[in-house]
Amino acid sequence: MAHPVIVLVDDLMFESRIRATAEAVGCALEVVRTHESLAARLAASPGATVIVDLNAEGTDVIEAIRVTRRMPAPPRTYAYLSHVQVELGQAAQEAGADEVMARSQFVKRLPELLGGG
């Protein structure tokens, strides 16, 4: 099995879509809801890849990306959002996201990002 993927997402319907894709490609997936939980999971899973839903509510998503950059070995970090949220995407890139993409592009690339393509 490939390296684990940690996803910060709060949309339960979309989470189930991510989980189904992860299962299909044989990816170890962990879901977190807050940047604090992300920090704890990263400490326990060095080498993980991180995916951040920039539209997640109830946490500071930009801080979540900053958390990844503070790790001793910063993980590859992907973020996705609505295509019209240009400023939020720019803030995520400035915070250190390796790649920021529109949600539609994220859906197309999901198997690849989870290590199956």
The CA-atom distances, in angstroms, between 104 and each of 60, 83, 85, 109 are 22, 8, 13, 9
| Domains in the chain: boundaries | 5-113
pLDDT tens per residue, range 2-25:
578 999 999 999 999 999 999 999
CATH 3.40.50.150 is held by the domain 5-113: no
- Which regions of the chain are under pLDDT 50? 1
pTM (2 d.p.): 0.93
